[in-house]
Structure 1
């Protein structure tokens, strides 16, 4: 994550009528990855978020940065709770367990409870699957229940335990008899004091609700459905600062995120909390698979967030780690890492994109990235996997485009005025070194106030980012795609706002932001071929637009956004070959000024109109001063015009694995789309 504190004018622009004619030939084919999804574990969006595990601090993981503790665990009946590193741990990865003793017991029944990630959702009809590991002197029944803080029990079961000198795993299931009114619930484990012979140790206590596609160790259904509503085509992961690590020796080491949960030691995440690594490399690839997204895999490139970098002499081990990671994902059973993946029950995955590092232009990383780090990873990956598109973690390595035919990553966090002014940012950029907009968001107010936009993703700021996205769409022969960041915000604990999707333990509170609704509209209607436009009246600003057609549906499509206008803007829109009498569907979004979506609700108004082309074949309509719109003329509604059922003249995008070579210095970018001046 990074940001720019910028001042921008807040004066509204005068509205003028706009007349546009869209040609039928001479366009550029667009990227099939125009809209994607980026994820990093920030704001408790992995553990406590999309990763569906409900037990907080389930395996007592920690390190010198975030020491191990008993947070979120509480004693019941006077039980003594302590952390122990036994001579016989559960595993070398999970050496610390919670020891329960009855030395100070006040009841005949003792135990412990877990607070969850700020509560537990209890939903009638759900099946909950739980497990735990036990070691020590306990011989009897453990009662496990989900209950409210005022002791109303919603689900209960009993597990017979005969614990001894070996670690033993026990499993259980829940079927709540009724739904809880809220998520203010705990998970409780109790047993008779007399059944405890000495002390007993617990570790890796887990509880999962139903998961998306019923995946074991899977993902939360409501949050996955929210992502699916964005129609994402690529998945940038693990993404962001969380991959880099706060300091040596910690980084997102993929080998610590695969295999059984007992073999995953955890990781000191960069956003002030320990990661369990339950959401690991395989889980990311299954996530991409379940939502039909192309994986865009980030590999660590030798830079820590405190500015320390791996020397050139010591870099090879990390380059080899990246190669091993790709072999693990794509190798067949004859390879060392591919064989291990097969032993876990997974066939090979396909990886088309690899990004080397994350924001290596920051934290004093640029000199070494340009001097040796990028090239070392690039050359090794290209030699082993020539069909993979390699992406530099910023788009002007060595002051120009990335070396060879690599793509670059562009991140933009700014005020809405700046975002809207960058409609033409990439107009003069080369298509031979495509860019992925790996992170973007409006994060500052339009009046130049550098205070961060607060929780809620306020309207109308998303119209500014919509214009930025339309600029990317009209340059889609150069732009691989774009992804908003951050994706999630846990309403109980966050480090960064605004975010795309808000949530807490209660699925009824999951809230899509105003930006989510804008992306849902734009991503849901894809242009496969941008077409030339002739503007006879008006121009760009305060209205911005892009037009083309879909070779998948035969539709003619225009996407429009209006930001900072003083009044409604009239449009006259012609598509070559579409005659009078044709009908179009116009869908546009508006929202009250300075409003954000309330928890579980929406302030965004969706308007749907049917428009008939006049005698001249033009569609006439008006858009409000702050709005985002899609106009679509279906293949069956084009009147007596040109038949668009077959592919037209397409130039530009040649697919993700054949970008060609060359490029131009960023400094040569011309206006309207001048390069960013840092």
Structure 2
């Protein structure tokens, strides 16, 4: 038998082609999506403590959502809601409790928290309540942390004595040692007790009292950062982000002007921060507002990158974006400039800075960056509002680096128009977004190789490869290596979304999943951390030769199914194969009830699908899946918001080709006579509407799945060699030319270390769970210049 020949690859650099790259390259982006703030990063345990929940948040919600009313038999009490003379006009609702009898025992309220509450052994909790007497001389109140069995694990007493709104405070201490009488349970290193516990507030005498803004928070912090959950902050800190983008995302410009994120409404006393509904379908209290955001940045050593609306609301409604009225624009521009003053001005001379000082931070936050806009529809109205804001900020604060926006995708009309504006205005940095499959990323590693070095620099503000499996992390590692190689023009990048609370997914995947007790870092998280903890200031483009290409074997299966969030009728459906086989399928009355699987099962390399699509409603369209619809590799044609052809590869979809179609151009009752052409088992697609070609595309067969990136931290004297092997066999990587060209000393080669992230299964990793493997550091002797990269691995070799 012939000897086995391992895969090999050679890496080479031109030492004279060094590029000085951005040292702010790797950052994070926090948006309140998937319950990331209230019930997540915010350490507040009480849900709806201000009694401001409403049907605007959720059809089944009310002012008493998350509260249980406790009235024992033989006692009598009523629980109302009033808005007369509230604590804060911004949040006017409060609870009125009328107690006529406590003969059967005290009456009260019990808060279930956010998916319950978790109390930690040895923790001290700070409780507060705003209250006023309506009748009676004094009202004794007992506050308890209650375990699953309804037994208190900690109690405190207070007495409400004032007929004016007064804030009452106390603390609740949980015992630190195991005590079976109190229901304590020894957990892991934190000794968690009373899982899924509740907060109970009991009123012990007859009388009438108003209560509002009930709060309970643990006093433990991470590096002194109050009001934020310590383990989540620690997970961010250990990413070593150079910057942090906030608040969004779609939250930035909101669903309509009343929902637009106004920074000045999120600072100052929390009682006076007006609550609002969240665009992702829940309530937001702004307990984590702009001040807490700046403090978080300060705590983890990240530069703040606040993003403010560009004077228009989110376009993702059937009515499209709504602009701030022309007469209101001067006031809005003053607000934008006010944020800069809030961060950087002298509190002795500036009113906004004085508000910062009053909150406890007289020192400036040192703001350098300001984003204007997010994924906006780039039309003349947007351009007018953006230009006015941009010009005003540049005139008032030329020291601030403005980050513009070029739409939600790395191509298309908004992208092109956004870049036109960027060139005309000479915007310093523009924000691109790109959510794509691993296959797309591997195919487009050269996306930034030919960027204009004399134009605006690029911030890839939102990106990801649509899953949390190892293969997704490897794809992101490959493209991050190329971003680093182009770090002279790619100034910043941040994966998105950052957080997701399990059971509250607004978007998958996410970098960090969590529940009330634990944090679950994904493979994507470990890749980000491996880059961000090895930051560099110089990079070299790398030429790689050898066994680096992967060719996918696509199935011949032909099926058909329908998904999507819109409503449409699909009629006269006919599938015809290249051999002439013809199958007529039943009509489908699709009402967002996908997936609807037709049961079609053919074998063919090429085929066409004819159908009539009658659109009814829904902004996100209807998707027709063809090919091996139950497998990881198939095709999608989308009708509605745009005509789009997508490739699903390894279970993740990405656009092959598409057209932008504004929703105000698509009316209920619109009819499309469509023909979908699929060739080469799905590698080639085309779409016709009424016999007119609309869009077409072809997939490149080979994917570069093995990469090498080279960068150096000049100050630290460390060279980083980053090797991605996203294939099933190990590969011998010859790095000798790179080491020689960069004059790496022999002594350093002998003492190199390698941090390796790998697993046997490239599809290991599940949403909501911790990645099954973590990076492992080990010695890596490079005297020969050879490195053996394991199958399915990402390696960072540090050569000092």
> TM > 0.5 between the two?
yes
Name the structure 2 match of 1:37.
28
The answer to whether the 8 A contact 1:513-1:596 is kept is yes
Name the structure 1 match of 2:196.
184
SS in 2 for 1:48: helix
Name the structure 2 match of 1:461.
472
SS in 2 for 1:350: coil
Number of aligned residue pairs: 595
Distance, in Å, in 2 between the alignment partners of 1:143 and 1:285 is 36
Residues 441 and 135 of structure 1, relative CA distance in 2, 3 Å threshold = same
- Structure 1 segments unaligned to the other structure (5+ residues): 1-13, 444-452, 635-678
Name the structure 2 match of 1:676.
none
Give the one of 370, 377, 392 matched to 1:354. 370
Name the structure 1 match of 2:358.
343
Residues 180 and 629 of structure 1, relative CA distance in 2, 3 Å threshold = closer
Name the structure 2 match of 1:18.
9
1:556 and 2:719 are equivalent in the alignment: yes
Name the structure 2 match of 1:74.
68
Q: Displacement, 1:476?
A: 0.4
SS in 1 for 2:293: helix
How do residues 489-528 of structure 1 correspond to structure 2 at under 5 angstroms?
489-506=500-517, 509-528=518-537
Give the one of 437, 443, 455 matched to 1:421. 443
1:400 and 2:404 are equivalent in the alignment: no
Distance, in Å, in 2 between the alignment partners of 1:226 and 1:273 is 25
Q: Displacement, 1:88?
A: 1.9
Whose relative contact order is higher, 1 or 2, with alpha carbons under 8 Å and at least 6 apart?
1
Name the structure 2 match of 1:652.
none
Distance, in Å, in 2 between the alignment partners of 1:336 and 1:601 is 46
Name the structure 1 match of 2:312.
303
Which whole-Å deviations, capped at 9, do the CAs of 1:486-535 have from their partners, x for residues lacking one?
A: 111111322111111111222xx211111111111122112221135454
The answer to whether the 8 A contact 2:120-2:193 is kept is no
Give the one of 438, 459, 462 matched to 1:439. 462
Distance, in Å, in 2 between the alignment partners of 1:493 and 1:182 is 22
Q: Displacement, 1:625?
A: 3.3
The answer to whether the 8 A contact 2:310-2:372 is kept is yes
Distance, in Å, in 2 between the alignment partners of 1:438 and 1:526 is 18
Q: Please tell me whether Structure 1 or Structure 2 has the larger radius of gyration of its CA atoms.
A: 2
Q: Displacement, 1:585?
A: 1.2
Distance, in Å, in 1 between the alignment partners of 2:418 and 2:285 is 37
1:330 and 2:344 are equivalent in the alignment: yes
Distance, in Å, in 2 between the alignment partners of 1:557 and 1:58 is 50
1:487 and 2:498 are equivalent in the alignment: yes
1:368 and 2:381 are equivalent in the alignment: yes
Name the structure 2 match of 1:50.
41
The answer to whether the 8 A contact 2:89-2:272 is kept is yes
Query: Normalized against structure 2, the TM-score is what?
Result: 0.71
Name the structure 1 match of 2:793.
627
How do residues 567-582 of structure 1 correspond to structure 2 at under 5 angstroms?
567-574=729-736, 575-576=739-740, 577-580=743-746, 582=749
The answer to whether the 8 A contact 1:93-1:264 is kept is yes
Q: Identify the range of structure 1 (200-209 vs 295-304) with the bigger mean alpha-carbon deviation.
A: 295-304
Residues 214 and 190 of structure 1, relative CA distance in 2, 3 Å threshold = farther
Name the structure 2 match of 1:168.
166
How do residues 143-158 of structure 1 correspond to structure 2 at under 5 angstroms?
143-158=142-157
The answer to whether the 8 A contact 1:252-1:267 is kept is no
Name the structure 2 match of 1:543.
706
Residues 62 and 119 of structure 1, relative CA distance in 2, 3 Å threshold = closer
Which whole-Å deviations, capped at 9, do the CAs of 1:554-578 have from their partners, x for residues lacking one?
A: 1121112122x24212101021323
Give the one of 175, 191, 196 matched to 2:206. 196
Residues 250 and 534 of structure 1, relative CA distance in 2, 3 Å threshold = closer
Which whole-Å deviations, capped at 9, do the CAs of 1:456-501 have from their partners, x for residues lacking one?
A: x222222112212111111000111211111111113221111111
Q: Identify the range of structure 1 (305-314 vs 250-259) with the bigger mean alpha-carbon deviation.
A: 305-314
SS in 2 for 1:325: helix
Q: Displacement, 1:314?
A: 4.1
Q: Displacement, 1:303?
A: 2.1
Distance, in Å, in 2 between the alignment partners of 1:301 and 1:244 is 8
The answer to whether the 8 A contact 2:56-2:277 is kept is yes
- Structure 2 segments unaligned to the other structure (5+ residues): 176-183, 185-190, 407-414, 550-703
Distance, in Å, in 2 between the alignment partners of 1:619 and 1:73 is 65
Distance, in Å, in 2 between the alignment partners of 1:90 and 1:107 is 32
Q: Displacement, 1:608?
A: 3.5
The answer to whether the 8 A contact 1:74-1:112 is kept is yes
CA RMSD of aligned residues (A): 2.4
Residues 560 and 293 of structure 1, relative CA distance in 2, 3 Å threshold = same
Q: Identify the range of structure 1 (311-320 vs 282-291) with the bigger mean alpha-carbon deviation.
A: 311-320
Residues 383 and 89 of structure 1, relative CA distance in 2, 3 Å threshold = same
Name the structure 1 match of 2:261.
252
More strand by share: 2
The answer to whether the 8 A contact 2:78-2:99 is kept is no
The answer to whether the 8 A contact 2:476-2:527 is kept is no
Q: Displacement, 1:596?
A: 1.6
Name the structure 1 match of 2:639.
none
Name the structure 1 match of 2:299.
290
Name the structure 2 match of 1:117.
114
Name the structure 2 match of 1:649.
none
Which whole-Å deviations, capped at 9, do the CAs of 1:267-309 have from their partners, x for residues lacking one?
A: 2211111211111111110010000001111112122223222
Query: Normalized against structure 1, the TM-score is what?
Result: 0.83
